[in-house]
Amino acid sequence: MASSSSSFVTLAVLVLLFGSTSAQLSTNFYSSSCPRLFPTVKSTVQSAISKEARMGASLLRLFFHDCFVNGCDGSILLDDTSSFTGEKNAAPNKNSVRGFDVVDNIKSAVEKVCPGVVSCADILAITARDSVEILGGPSWNVKLGRRDARTASQAAANNSIPPPTSNLNQLISNFSAVGLSTRDMVALSGSHTIGQARCTSFRPRIYNETNIDPSFARTRQGNCPRKSGSGDNNLAPLDLQTPTAFDNNYFKNLLNRRGLLHSDQQLFNGGSTDSIVRTYNNNPRTFLSDFVAGMIKMGDISPLTGSKGEIRKNCRRVN
């Protein structure tokens, strides 16, 4: 009897330790505590995208850059303080990640309908979904219940977010480190069907690389001078064909050697992911289905739940 009782206690401890992270996230987490949450978020996202279509891609990217650094905990939204240097000025984010004002507006709107209830981390997750849907992509039920981090780490952001110079093995490794498969990586890279990149991110590719369509390279060179320091912040669409529509044209571009970033074209360059790119090019439904699965998996990365973290009143600072 004593041994079975102790086995039960051990099992209970194991469940507490290992079964309580993503298990505590649920799609109906706020159904009673904040029933107007979804329409409140979506109307604000819709307004922001109506003003600037690019904002949808920027909001989606915020969620990606948040989740890859110590989990989906809203840490990317924190301004620097005297006690920590945050993620906003890390190399992958500085002069690049944007949309913070929109998140502030969403948080303010949500606080009006249910103050002190919804985390900034969850707002990022919902906003990413809404952005994709508004731009013509799929929708999905977002798992919720994350809490907000009380700190942030610039060093972790520098080390965790794959740069546009990444080769295929580095990309696979970066995604694997947070529990995402190679197929997840290719599907989530398809988010580059929307949004824009700065000249500094693709200059080496359009001037130095050979696995690029020459006419495409010339087009991009027209707005991105060879000399560093000249036109660094000039923008180009990641998807030349439909830059504000969420579709599978990103993969068509890769087949035609028109990936804008070095890391984009690495997905179709004679390596192990060529077949996945071909599948997504030929079967848009498969891409959209895999993208949704990847987004849900990414949203499960190391959330703070239960009594961990807090529900921030202002997404830019701890309470």
Enter the tokens of residue 119. 């985390």
Q: Which three-class secondary structure state does DSSP give residue 269?
A: coil
Burial of 278 (0-12, 13-18, 19+ CB in 10 A): middle
Rounded to whole angstroms, the Cα distance separating 265 from 47 reads 33
Q: For position 16, what pLDDT does the model report? A: 44
Q: For position 4, what pLDDT does the model report? A: 45
Active site residues: 65
Q: For position 317, what pLDDT does the model report? A: 97
User: For residues 230-257, b (16+ Cβ closer than 10 Å) or e, as one string?
Assistant: ebeebbbbbbbebbbebbbbbbbbbeeb
Rounded to whole angstroms, the Cα distance separating 25 from 58 reads 25
- In order along the chain (319 residues), what is the average pLDDT of each group of 10 residues? 44 44 82 98 98 97 97 97 92 92 98 98 98 98 98 94 96 97 98 97 98 98 96 96 97 98 98 98 98 98 96 97
Q: Say what the pTM is.
A: 0.92
Enter the tokens of residue 149. 């981090």
CB contact at 8 A, 124 and 63: yes
Enter the tokens of residue 215. 């006419």
* DSSP for residue 192: G
Q: For position 23, what pLDDT does the model report? A: 53
Task: State the SS3 of 37-98.
Answer: HHHHHHHHHHHHHHHCCCHHHHHHHHHHHHHCCCCCCCHHHCCCCCCCCCCCCCCCCCCCCC
* DSSP for residue 198: E
Rounded to whole angstroms, the Cα distance separating 178 from 109 reads 32
Q: For position 316, what pLDDT does the model report? A: 97
Instruction: Provide the sign of the torsion angle of the four alpha carbons 271, 277, 279, 282, taken in this order.
Output: negative
- The closest of 152, 124, 148, 72 to 313, measured between CA atoms, is 148
The radius of gyration of the chain's CA atoms, rounded to the nearest angstrom, is: 20
- Residue 141's contacts (CB-CB under 8 Å, 6 or more residues apart) are 27
User: Rounded to 5, what percent of the chain is helix, strand, coil?
Assistant: 50, 5, 45
CB contact at 8 A, 80 and 89: yes
